[in-house]
Amino acid sequence: MALVLATTTPGEPEIFASVQGEGASAGRACAFVRLSRCNLACEWCDTAYTWRFSGDNRPHRDGMDFERSANQLTLDEADVAARIAALGRLRLVVTGGEPLLQAPALARLLPLLPGIHVEVETNGTVAPPPALDGLVHQWNVSPKLSHSGNPRDPALRPEALRAFAADPRATFKFVIAEEADIAEVRALADAHGIPGQRIWLMPEGRDSETIRARGRWLADYCSKHELNFSDRLHIHLFGDTRGT
């Protein structure tokens, strides 16, 4: 009866208030809770402290690993709900890691937060169980392309992608490093019936200079092809830091 969370500092769960930095809700005031553990391992992941613990040799460009005891914390759902409620926000973003690895605990958490609009950020590999699905207002789905370094089979699950594509609550955000990545997005959209108006393309990068350089040509592409462009506002505002 507990959730496994990431930490901002040892012993302090990553539960905070800020503005959403990406995707369809960018700029909105939100409460955030970051869960620990992930079933994928993106080489450019900016939250590797949620999964790349000591002994995990899955590749990451930084080559760093993290002590589990300092970067992971288990709390009762009621405690997590109280901390979120104390932030006084009307919108909650559940992020990770991969939150759907803890779907049963989330299904117990969310009823403790009545009246709050819930977004869940997911890599789209796991279809949500009914007990959780009915409690979520918005699915922020971010399928991982080949440049993430993940093998295709675990990263792109056709059944889960089709389920999200058929759900009007789901938006799709793709991380783009170079123009060739867009061809992958187009192929996935065609294969799984993802409408263009629910697709956001976001430049990969963990610093403003990289995001702006890639964002210039990517925004132009989105404009020409009537797709949505996503910046990374939190990076520009706060840098690549936890709890922001």
- Judge whether 24 lies within some domain: yes
The number of beta carbons lying within 10 Å of the beta carbon of residue 160 is 20
- Angle at alpha carbon of residue 138, lines to 136 and 142, rounded to 5°: 115
Q: What is the H or E stretch that residue 94 is in? A: strand 91-95
What's the rounded Cα separation, in Å, for the pair 151 and 203?
Answer: 21
Quote the pLDDT of residue 123.
98
- Angle at alpha carbon of residue 101, lines to 100 and 103, rounded to 5°: 55
Give the burial string for 91-107 (b: 16+ CB within 10 Å, else e): bbbbbbbbbbbbbebbb
- Judge whether 193 lies within some domain: no
Which residues form the domain of 135?
Answer: 2-173
Rounded to two decimals, the pTM is 0.97
Q: Which two tokens stand for residue 104?
A: 């049963």
Quote the pLDDT of residue 1.
77
Q: Which two tokens stand for residue 237?
A: 């505002």
Identify the segments of the chain with pLDDT beneath 70.
Answer: none
The maximal CA–CA distance of the chain, rounded, in angstroms, is: 49
- Judge whether 89 lies within some domain: yes
Collect all residues with Cβ–Cβ distance below 8 Å to 207 and sequence separation of at least 6.
235, 239, 240
- Judge whether 45 lies within some domain: yes
Strands 2-9 and 12-13: antiparallel
Count of structural domains, the chain: 1
Strand 12-13's sheet: what is its strand order?
12-13, 2-9, 72-76
Mean pLDDT across the chain, nearest whole number? Answer: 97
Quote the pLDDT of residue 81.
98
Q: Residue 36 maps to which CATH number?
A: 3.20.20
- Angle at alpha carbon of residue 204, lines to 39 and 87, rounded to 5°: 70
- Judge whether 19 lies within some domain: yes
Q: What is the DSSP-derived secondary structure letter of residue 243? A: T
- Judge whether 198 lies within some domain: no
- Judge whether 240 lies within some domain: no
Per residue in 27-82, pLDDT tens? 999 999 999 999 999 999 999 999 999 999 999 999 999 999 999 999 999 999 99
- Judge whether 200 lies within some domain: no
